[in-house]
């Protein structure tokens, strides 16, 4: 290996020594130009491309946004009233700033809108609105768990007269969430902030966020009139759908870990009632150590009576056993009798307890699970495990009725495989390789031309002397033939030359 390198080095030195001074100078100039071009291309390719994320901010908002970006360790630049960040951080910066409630003043989230001759103001406004909606949709789609998003903005029409009623700007955001994904309240609020701060005059309360199931993820501020029958029915339906969707997403998340993605479909129906009941309990408490209450009062009644009729025999009791009587000795004198009666009043301690049941009572669930029978790993044993898993997730409560779970295996239709798009991040690599290859071809072409040019030295030939024998042309090497073919291809068939470069780079 070392011997081969030494031979190559010796041959290169020999060729370099055999070149005339002009050719050496041209080679040095070409190599310097190639090195400078390479450095420029590398610098341009590695330097981050900054894009505008906000425009039209005042000085205070600029300071707040820059401070927040520095805290998030996101590189940023300030140009006038605009904030610029590297393109790869643009969407993350918009989301993080929106979740932080910054900026507090509105900004323009679009740039580069151009006007053409004859374009009306309405056409320009529509162009701006479309650009803004697309920019917001692309930004929201980059949130973790959001597959795609669409933003629709309704701008208020300008009124000709002051007395005409004015309307506020409104916006709706549709998000297509991934399987088992649930956006937190902070993320939903961040989306509302992002859209509201992108449109002048738009408030957070006028931004509605809806998922692919039709669930309103944003805070509902329009159902204040819940006492009406229509509002109450809509609220009950929304509560039941939310309960079903939450349980469905939970089951899908667990089943994907068992049978894999796209191999399970779950349908949930909740049997609920909205009959709210109130129960009042009155409990009496006895006195400690007694089976009666506390004595509050006690009354003793006594009575005495006398009679002149002769009494009975001495020692004979009267007919009333409850009376305490005293009798005189038998004889013909008067008879005296006394009686007493005790009345006791009791009081009990009591406890009143009022219980209000939940407005929504779950009576049971009906769950249907469909499994992809094309997957041979789904056996009857796996189906039984899935059934037990679903039953354990549903649980049971004293007020909950019987749950019905059905697990079936059916063949699923094979979805069409989408052709992945070529990654855009490697475009600059192909461009750099093509530029370097073209530069090498040009340098080789210049060297080849210098070699074939006659030397600058003039040889004087004496008069009368001619050379009858023609000079033999030196045969071209394989490398020179290939170089000539590439030059001819680049000059006359540039499309084929570009295709050839792409083929070489891919190999």
Give mean pLDDT, residues 300-312: 67
% of residues, the chain, pLDDT over 70: 69
| pLDDT > 60? residue 313 | no
Q: Could you check whether 50-159+166-221 and 237-276+359-410 share the same CATH topology?
A: yes
- Greatest C-alpha distance within the chain: 208
Lowest mean pLDDT: which of 226-240, 306-320, 433-447?
A: 306-320
Ramachandran angles phi, psi of 72, nearest 5°: -80, 0
| Neighbouring residues of 380: CB distance < 8 A, sequence distance ≥ 6 | none
Give the whole-angstrom CA distance, residue 284 versus residue 269. 44
What is the CATH number that goes with domain 50-159+166-221? 3.30.300.30
**Strand pairing class (404-410; 361-372):** parallel
pLDDT in tens, 346-395: 777 777 777 776 667 788 889 999 888 888 888 888 889 899 998 888 88
358 or 92: which carries more pLDDT confidence?
A: 92
More confident call, 341 vs 173? 173
The pLDDT assigned to 446 comes to 65
The overall average pLDDT reported for the chain is 74
Average pLDDT, integer, range 435-455? 63
- Per-range mean pLDDT, top range of 108-122, 307-321, 369-383, 396-410: 369-383
The architecture that CATH gives domain 237-276+359-410 is 2-Layer Sandwich (3.30)
Over residues 112-117, the mean pLDDT reads 58
φ, ψ of residue 330 in degrees (nearest 5): -60, 135
So what's the pLDDT on residue 292?
73
Tell me how crowded residue 200 is: count the other CB atoms within 10 A of its CB: 12
Residue 229 is predicted with a pLDDT of 47
| pLDDT score of 317 | 46
Beta bridge partners of 353: 281
CA distances from 336 to 311, 316, 317, 319, 329 (A): 10, 14, 13, 14, 11
Mean of pLDDT values over 266-286: 80
Looking at 121-125, 357-361, 460-464, which range is the least confident one?
Answer: 460-464
Q: What is the structure's pLDDT at 200? A: 83
Judge contact between 274 and 360, C-beta under 8 A.
yes
Residue with the larger pLDDT of the pair 411 and 488: 411
Q: According to the 3-state scheme, what is the secondary structure of 145-204?
A: CEEEEEEEEECCCCCCCCCCCCCCCEEEEEEEECCCCCCCHHHHHHHHHHHHCCCCCCCH
User: What SS3 state is found at 342?
Assistant: strand
Q: What Å distances lie between residue 171 and 133, 147, 198, CA to CA?
A: 10, 20, 11
The pLDDT confidence band at residue 429, using thresholds 50, 70 and 90, is low
Q: Evaluate whether 379 touches 309 at the Cβ level (below 8 Å).
A: no
Q: What is the pLDDT of residue 173?
A: 93
CA–CA distance, 81 with 58 (Å, rounded to integer): 7
pLDDT, tens digit, for every residue of 139-195? 898 888 888 899 999 887 765 544 445 577 889 999 999 888 888 888 888 898 889
Query: With bands split at pLDDT 50, 70 and 90, how would you rate the model's confidence at 209?
Result: very high
Structure tokens at 216: 């309103």
Beta bridge partners of 210: 174, 216
The confidence score (pLDDT) of residue 163 equals 42
Mean pLDDT value of segment 226-234: 49
Residue 129 has pLDDT above 80, yes or no: yes
Q: What is the pLDDT of residue 151?
A: 92
Looking at per-residue pLDDT, the higher value among 219 and 194 belongs to: 194
pLDDT of residue 445: 66
Q: For the segment 29-66, what is each residue's pLDDT rounded down to a tens digit?
A: 888 888 888 888 887 777 788 888 887 777 888 888 89
- Point out the least confidently predicted range of 34-38, 81-85, 114-118, 391-395: 114-118
3-class secondary structure, 326: coil
Give the Cα-Cα-Cα angle 200, 205, 207 (nearest 5 degrees): 70
Q: What is the pLDDT of residue 334?
A: 63
Can you give the pLDDT at residue 20? 82
Lowest mean pLDDT among 10-14, 193-197, 441-445: 441-445
- CA–CA separation, 43 vs 271, rounded Å? 65
pTM score, whole prediction:
0.32
- What mean pLDDT is predicted for residues 278-306? 75
Residue 487: φ, ψ to 5°: -65, -45
- In the three-class reduction of DSSP (H, G, I as helix; E, B as strand; rest coil), residue 25 is classed as helix
Instruction: Kindly report which listed range (259-268, 430-439, 446-455) carries the lowest average pLDDT score.
Output: 446-455
Indicate the domain borders of the chain: 2-46, 50-159+166-221, 237-276+359-410
The pLDDT value given to residue 225: 38
The whole-number average pLDDT for the span 425-451 is 63
Judged against a pLDDT cut of 50, whether residue 457 lies above it is answered with no
The full DSSP string for 46-112 is HSPPEEEEEBS--HHHHHHHHHHHHHTT---EEETTEEEEEGGGHHHHHHHHHHTT--SS--B----
pLDDT, mean of residues 311-331: 48
Per-residue pLDDT averaged across 327-353, rounded? 69
Among the residue ranges 122-131, 228-237, 423-432, the one predicted with the least confidence is 423-432
């Amino acid at each position: 290996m070392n011997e081969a390198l030494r031979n190559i080095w010796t041959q290169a030195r020999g060729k370099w020594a055999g070149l005339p001074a002009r050719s050496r100078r041209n080679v040095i100039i070409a190599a310097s130009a190639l090195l400078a071009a390479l450095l420029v291309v590398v610098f341009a390719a590695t330097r981050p491309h900054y894009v505008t994320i906000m425009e039209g901010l005042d000085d205070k908002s600029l300071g707040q946004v820059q401070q927040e970006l520095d805290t998030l360790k996101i590189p940023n630049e300030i140009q006038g009233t605009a904030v610029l960040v590297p393109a790869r951080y643009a969407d993350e910066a918009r989301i993080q700033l929106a979740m932080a409630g910054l900026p507090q003043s509105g900004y323009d989230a679009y740039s580069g809108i151009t006007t053409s001759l004859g374009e009306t103001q309405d056409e320009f406004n529509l162009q701006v609105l479309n650009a803004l909606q697309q920019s917001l949709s692309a930004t929201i789609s980059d949130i973790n768990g959001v597959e795609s998003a669409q933003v629709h903005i309704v701008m208020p029409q300008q009124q000709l007269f002051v007395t005409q009623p004015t309307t506020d700007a409104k916006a709706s955001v549709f998000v297509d969430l991934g399987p088992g994904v649930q956006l937190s309240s902070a993320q939903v609020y961040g989306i509302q902030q992002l859209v509201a701060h992108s449109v002048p005059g738009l408030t957070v309360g006028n931004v509605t966020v809806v998922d692919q199931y039709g669930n309103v993820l944003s805070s509902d501020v329009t159902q204040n009139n819940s006492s009406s029958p229509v509002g109450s029915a809509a609220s009950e339906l929304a509560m039941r759908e939310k309960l079903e969707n939450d349980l469905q997403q939970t089951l899908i998340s667990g089943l994907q870990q068992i049978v894999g993605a796209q191999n399970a479909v779950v349908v949930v129906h909740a049997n609920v009632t909205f009959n709210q009941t109130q129960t009042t309990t009155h409990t009496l408490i006895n006195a400690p150590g007694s089976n009666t209450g506390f004595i509050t009062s006690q009354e003793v009644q006594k009575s005495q009576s006398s009679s002149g009729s002769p009494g009975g025999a001495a020692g004979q009791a009267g007919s009333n056993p409850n009376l305490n009587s005293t009798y005189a000795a038998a004889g013909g004198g008067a008879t005296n009798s006394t009686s007493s009666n005790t009345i006791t009043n009791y009081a009990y301690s009591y406890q009143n307890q009022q219980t209000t049941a939940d407005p929504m009572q779950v009576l049971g669930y009906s769950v249907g699970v469909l499994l992809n029978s094309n997957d041979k790993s789904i056996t009857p044993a796996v189906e039984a495990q899935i059934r037990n898993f679903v039953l354990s997730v549903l649980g049971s409560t004293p007020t909950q009725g019987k749950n019905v779970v059905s697990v079936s295996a059916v063949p699923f239709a094979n979805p069409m495989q989408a052709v992945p798009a070529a990654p855009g991040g490697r475009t600059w690599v192909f461009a750099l390789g093509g530029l370097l290859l073209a530069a090498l071809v040009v340098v080789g072409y210049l060297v080849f031309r210098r070699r074939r040019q006659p030397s600058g030295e003039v040889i004087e030939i004496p008069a009368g002397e001619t050379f009858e024998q023609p000079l033999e042309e030196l045969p071209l090497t394989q490398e020179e033939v290939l170089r000539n073919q590439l030059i001819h291809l680049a000059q006359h068939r540039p499309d084929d030359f570009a295709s050839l470069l792409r083929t070489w780079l891919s190999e």
